[in-house]
Structure 1
Amino acid sequence: MTDTTSLFPKYAKSRPFVARHPSVLIFLVCLALFTLGVTILSEGFGIGVISTSFIKTLGKTLCLCLVALAMDLVWGYTGILSLGHMAFFGIGGYAIGMWLMYARTEIIVVQSLAAAPLPPTPQEISDGIATQIFGVVGASEFPPIWAFAHSLPLQLAAVVLVPGLLALVFGWLAFRSRVTGVYLSILTQAMTLALSLYLFQNDSGLRGNNGLSGLQNLPGLDAVPQDTVSMWFLWASAAALGLGYVFAAWTVSGKFGSVLRAIRDNEARVRFLGYSVEAYKLFIFTVTAIIAAIAGALYYPQAGIINPAEIAPIASIYLAVWVAIGGRGRLYGAVIGAAFVSLLSTWFTGGQAPDINLGVYTVQWVDWWTILLGLSFVAVTLFAPKGIGGILDLLEQRRSPDRHGADLGPDAGALREKEADT
C-alpha cells in the first residue's frame, strides 16, 4: 500500500496534528484507557476495588506528571535546568486554595450568624471569616493579598497570571544578562528559597507554617461524597495531562522545537545564526511556569493542604530527578519518571514496603527512601543517561523508511529504497 504522506507532503501537512504524530495518539489512548479503568474500579462510579484514598493518589500523580512535562520542556528540550518550577506549582495551589478556604469559611460563618437576633451585615460576615482563617496566626483582618479571594474567576486568573508574571520578570532579568548553566540553576533555586522563607512568616498573609487546609472540601458540595469528588479531580487531572501533552508535543515539533534543541546543544551558534535566543528561552520558561501552576491548582485540592514546605528548593530538585530517571528530552519519559517515582515513593513512605532485618540493623524504608532515590539518580546519570525512556528506544523496532522508490535526497535519482537497504 502506497504511503500517501511521502508521495503527497502537502496532504500530510493538512492532516490533524495527532494523526501526524502517532506517539501522541498512543499516549492519549493509554491515558484514556487508564482513566476508564480507574473509573470502573473506583468506589464512586464503579465496583469499589480501588479505595478513595488511592484514587486521590492517582489523581495527584497525574498532576505531578503534568509538572514533569513542563520541566522536560524547559530542561530536556531547552537546556535550562530550573530548580524553581515547583515554586510555580505551589503558587497555583495557593491561588486556588485561597478561594476554597474563603468560600467554605464563609458558609460556616453565615450559618453560625443566622441564629443572631439581627441579620448580620456584610462587614460582620467579612470580619467573622477573617477571624476564622487568620486566628491561628493571631490576626483578624484580611491581608491585601486576599482582596479577590471571594471570586473564583479572579482566583483562577491568578493561577495563570501570578506565576506567569513572576516567571516573565525573573526570566527577562536572567536571560537578558545571559546567565546560563549552573549559575542560572542557582538563581532559580535562590528565588524558590526566598519565596518559601517569606511564606513561612506569619505576616506573609498566607498563614505562615500552618498553610491552607481543608482544601478537599468543595464549598456548597458537602452532600457529595469524597469518593465522587476524588473521581472528578482525577478526570480533570487526566484531561489537563492530555492537553498538556498535546501542547508540549506541538511545541517541540517543527521549526520552533528545532530551535529549542539547538539552544540546548549550542546556544552561541544559534545566536550567531540570528535567532533571538533570549526570546525563545523567555517564552518557554514562562509557559512552563503556567503549566506547573495549573498542575498545582489541581493537585492541592486533592492533597487537602498546602504549606511553605511544599515550595522548598528540595521539591524542585525532586522534580529534576523524576525527569532524569524517566529520560529527559522525551515527553513520555518525563511522564513515566514522575509516575514511577511518585507511586514508588508512596509505597515506600506509606509503610507498605516491608522493613529488612539485617540482624544488627533494620532497614526502614521510610527513612531510607530518599537515599535510595538519590542513588538511583546517580546511577541513571552515570550508566543510563537516557533514563527509563531509553529502554523503550532499545525495544523499538527500527525499520528502513518505507518510501517505495521515492527519492531520498534533494536530487532526482538520489539514494533510493533499494540502496538504502544495503
Structure 2
Amino acid sequence: MLFAKSKPSLIVVIATLLVFSLVVTVLSEGYGTGVLSTSFIKTLGKTLCLCLAALAMDLVWGYAGILSLGHMAFFALGGYMIGMWLMYARTAEIVTTALAGGGLPATPAEIQDGITSQIFGVVGTSELPFIWGFAHSFPLQMLLVVLVPGLLALCFGWLAFRARVTGVYLSILTQAMTLALALYLFQNDSGLRGNNGLSGLQNLPGLSSTSQDSLSIWFFWASAAALGLAYLLISWVVSGKFGSVIRAIRDDEARVRFLGYSVEGYKLFVFILTAVICALAGALYYPQAGIINPAELAPTASIYLAVWVAIGGRGRLYGAIIGAAFVSLLSSWFTGGRAPSIPLVFGTLNWVDWWQVLLGLSFVLVTLFAPKGIGGLFDSLAGLHSPNRRGAPLGPNDGSLQEKEALK
C-alpha cells in the first residue's frame, strides 16, 4: 500500500489498462459486439507488446543511462524461440493427419521426416538443425525465450561494461551486435530458414478449431497482463535504493564508482533484465503478427524504440508507454493507407512515403525543445516540476526530474 501511494502513476496506469482491456473485450468480435475487427484487436495487442519493450528501454536508458540500440534484437529472439515451437507443433499436426490417411500408421521416423521436409524444404535441407532439438516441447522453448536473450545480454554486457565502454561507443556496439545477428540469421544455414523466417505462427497447436476472433482477444489479454506486471516490477525496481543507485550512475557514473558501488554489476543487471522483458514481449508479439524474419532485427527497429521513449518522455515509465502506443498506432494509420494524401503545388504528399521523415523530425524537435516528451505534459497537470535549486544546475540529465522522479 505504501509503495502504491508513493507511485501515484502506478495506480493510474494499472487502472487505465484494466478499463482499456474491458472496453476492447466488449467491443471485440470474439467476445463482444463486433465493433472492433479482429485485425484491429491484433494491432492493439501488438501495440501493447511494443509498449512493454519501450518500458524496458526506458529502464535501461531513461533510468540507467545506457542508450542501447540493440534491444529489439532481444525482442526478435524471443519471437524466434516461441516461433520454433509454434511452427514445429503445428506442422507436426498437419503431417500426422496427412500420414494417417495412408492406411498404415506412420512411424515416428516418417513423421519426423515429414516435419523436416515441410519446414526446411524451402531452404533445401532434409535434416532438422540441432537448435530445434527442444522445439517439440513448449516448456523448454519458453525457457529458451528467457535463457537465449538473457545469455546474449550477459555475455555482451559483461564484456562491454567490464571494459567501461560508455556513451555513443556503447550505442554503436549494441547496434553492431544487432546487425551481426541479423546478417547471420539471413543465411539459410543458420537453422532458422534464412530470409524466409518462421511463418504460420498465428495458428496455435491443438486449437485449430478455435477462431482467430477468440485467439486475438486471448493474446490481447496476455499482452495487457504482461504489460501490467512489468510495470509493477519496474516501478518496484526504480523506487528503492537500487533505483537511486542506477539514476546516480546515469547522472555521474564516476562519482558512484568512487563511492564504492559496483557500477558494472548494476548496469549488467539492468541490461539483462530489460533484455528478458523485451524477449517476453517478442514472444507475445509474433504469434499475433503471424510471421518473423531477420528483417525484424534491423538496427532501425531499435532506433524506433529509442524514438518512442524519447517522444513519450525518458525517465518516466508511463511516458514510455504513451510514446510507444502513440507512435506505433499513428504509424499503422499512416502506413496502412488510411491517412489521406495531401495535394501540393509541386506534387502529392503520400504519407506512406513521408511518415518516417515526419517521425524523424518529431524526434529532433522533441530532443531540442521538449526533452520531457509527452509525459512532461502529464507532469505539469500533476503538479510535478523540476526541483528549484536557486540557479544551480540540475546535472547532466536536464530532461529528468531527478529528485522527484522516484515519487512518480
3-state SS of paired residue (1:328): coil
Alignment of 1:207-222 (within 5 A): 207-222=193-208
Deviation at 1:119, TM superposition (A): 1.5
Q: Percent identity?
A: 75
Number of the residue aligned with 2:84:
98
Gaps of at least 5 residues in structure 1 are 1-14, 400-422
Number of the residue aligned with 1:174:
160
Q: Distance in 2 between matches of 1:195 and 1:214?
A: 23
Gaps of at least 5 residues in structure 2 are 386-408
- Counterpart check, 1:74 vs 2:60: yes
Q: Which runs of 4+ in 1 moved over 4 A?
A: none
Alignment of 1:73-222 (within 5 A): 73-222=59-208
Deviation at 1:21, TM superposition (A): 2.3
Q: Distance in 2 between matches of 1:32 and 1:324?
A: 25
Q: Distance in 2 between matches of 1:18 and 1:237?
A: 22
- Counterpart check, 1:307 vs 2:310: no
Alignment of 1:4-403 (within 5 A): 15=1, 17-397=3-383
3-state SS of paired residue (1:223): coil
Q: Provide Cα deviations, 1:288-347, integer angstroms capped at 9, x if missing partner.
A: 000000000000000000000001101000000000000000000000000000000000
Q: Provide Cα deviations, 1:119-138, integer angstroms capped at 9, x if missing partner.
A: 21111101100000001111
Deviation at 1:254, TM superposition (A): 1.2
Q: Provide Cα deviations, 1:364-400, integer angstroms capped at 9, x if missing partner.
A: 100000010000000000010111011111222369x
Q: Distance in 2 between matches of 1:255 and 1:274?
A: 15
Q: Distance in 1 between matches of 2:7 and 2:15?
A: 13
Between Structure 1 and Structure 2, how many residues are aligned? 385
Q: Distance in 1 between matches of 2:356 and 2:9?
A: 33
Q: How much is the aligned-residue C-alpha RMSD, in angstroms?
A: 1.0
Q: Distance in 2 between matches of 1:18 and 1:35?
A: 21
Q: Provide Cα deviations, 1:126-159, integer angstroms capped at 9, x if missing partner.
A: 1100000001111111111100000000000000
3-state SS of paired residue (2:201): coil
3-state SS of paired residue (1:140): coil
Q: Distance in 1 between matches of 2:115 and 2:264?
A: 45
Deviation at 1:99, TM superposition (A): 0.3
Deviation at 1:116, TM superposition (A): 2.1
Which has the higher Rg, Structure 1 or Structure 2?
Answer: 1
3-state SS of paired residue (2:65): coil
Aligned AA (1:173): L
Q: Provide Cα deviations, 1:30-49, integer angstroms capped at 9, x if missing partner.
A: 00000000001111111111
Q: Distance in 1 between matches of 2:79 and 2:262?
A: 33
Q: Distance in 2 between matches of 1:140 and 1:252?
A: 50
- Structure 1 residues 130 and 389, CA, compared in 2 at 3 Å: closer, same or farther? same
Aligned AA (2:109): Q
- TM-score w.r.t. length of structure 1: 0.90
Q: Provide Cα deviations, 1:44-103, integer angstroms capped at 9, x if missing partner.
A: 111111000000000000000000000000000000000010000000000000000000
Q: Distance in 2 between matches of 1:23 and 1:330?
A: 10
Aligned AA (1:79): G
Aligned AA (1:141): E
- Structure 1 residues 291 and 358, CA, compared in 2 at 3 Å: closer, same or farther? same
Q: Distance in 1 between matches of 2:39 and 2:127?
A: 35
- TM-score w.r.t. length of structure 2: 0.93
Number of the residue aligned with 1:8:
none
Q: Distance in 1 between matches of 2:111 and 2:300?
A: 40
Q: Distance in 2 between matches of 1:119 and 1:16?
A: 63
